[in-house]
């Protein structure tokens, strides 16, 4: 039997496989692959843990955001109520002040009216006294006295009209 090149290739292949087995290369490859697999599993577990922590943080942030929104709504509602009550209070104070000013003006008008009436009475009395003085000092007859009285009466009416207007 003749040994050809393919026989020697087969023999060298078997020797190569044997050397690989003897040097435990498949076990080392298996260990390296197992280590890579465990590293990948650890990374996946760690990423899953980070994902769950991120989800927890997101839920906490979302609940804080919802709480802050509710608080802001409550604050807005409270400030709206306070502003409405403040507006009502200011409006009431304004009306009370206006009523007070109105009553003060009315009392001033009444005082001015009383003062005008008193002044009219005083002027009337003064005119009457002056007329009497004129009559007495002139001591004239009755027809002149009647004319003088009529004239003084007209003057008194004129003065009173001026005072009233």
DSSP structure string for 33-55: HHHHHHHHHHHHHHHHHHHHHHH
- The confidence band for 96, taking pLDDT boundaries of 50, 70 and 90, is very high
Average pLDDT, the chain: 87
DSSP letter assigned to residue 4? -
73/23: higher pLDDT = 73
Mean pLDDT, rounded, for 137-156:
74
What's the confidence (pLDDT) of residue 49?
95
Is residue 135 classed exposed, middle or buried when 0-12, 13-18 and 19+ CB atoms within 10 A define those classes?
middle
CA diameter of the chain: 198
Q: How far apart are CA 49 and CA 51, in angstroms?
A: 5
What residues have CB less than 8 Å from 152, skipping those under 6 apart?
127, 130, 131, 134
Q: Is residue 62 in some structural domain?
A: yes
Predicted TM-score (pTM) of this structure: 0.41
Average of pLDDT values for 33-54?
94
Q: Is the dihedral of CA 129, 134, 136, 140 positive or negative?
A: negative
Asked if residue 2 belongs to a domain, the reply is no
Residue range 109-115: mean pLDDT, rounded: 90
Q: Which two tokens stand for residue 13?
A: 């292949």
Structure-token pair, residue 50: 């980070």
Q: Is 60 exceeded by the pLDDT of residue 1?
A: no
Q: Of 157, 101, 106, which Cα lies nearest the Cα of 127? A: 157
Average pLDDT of 27-37? 91
Closest CA to 122 of 130, 111, 134: 130
- 162 band by pLDDT with thresholds 50, 70 and 90: confident
- Answer whether residue 64 shows pLDDT above 70: yes
Is 109 inside any structural domain?
yes
- Does residue 34 form part of some domain? yes
Our count of domains for the chain comes to: 1
Domain that holds residue 54: 9-164
């Amino acid at each position: 039997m003749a040994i050809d090149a393919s026989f020697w290739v087969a023999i060298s292949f078997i020797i190569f496989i044997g050397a690989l087995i003897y040097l435990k290369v498949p076990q080392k490859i298996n260990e390296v692959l197992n280590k890579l697999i465990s590293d990948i599993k650890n990374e996946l577990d760690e990423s899953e843990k980070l994902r769950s922590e991120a989800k927890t943080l997101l839920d906490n942030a979302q609940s804080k955001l919802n709480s802050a929104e509710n608080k802001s709504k409550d604050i807005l509602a409270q400030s709206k109520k306070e502003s409405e009550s403040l507006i009502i209070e200011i409006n009431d104070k304004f009306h009370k002040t206006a009523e007070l000013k109105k009553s003060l003006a009315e009392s001033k008008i009444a005082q001015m009216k009383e003062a005008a009436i008193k002044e009219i009475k005083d002027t009337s009395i003064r005119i009457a006294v002056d007329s009497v003085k004129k009559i007495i000092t002139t001591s004239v007859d009755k027809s002149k006295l009647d004319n003088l009285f009529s004239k003084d009466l007209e003057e008194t009416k004129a003065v009173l009209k001026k005072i009233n207007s």
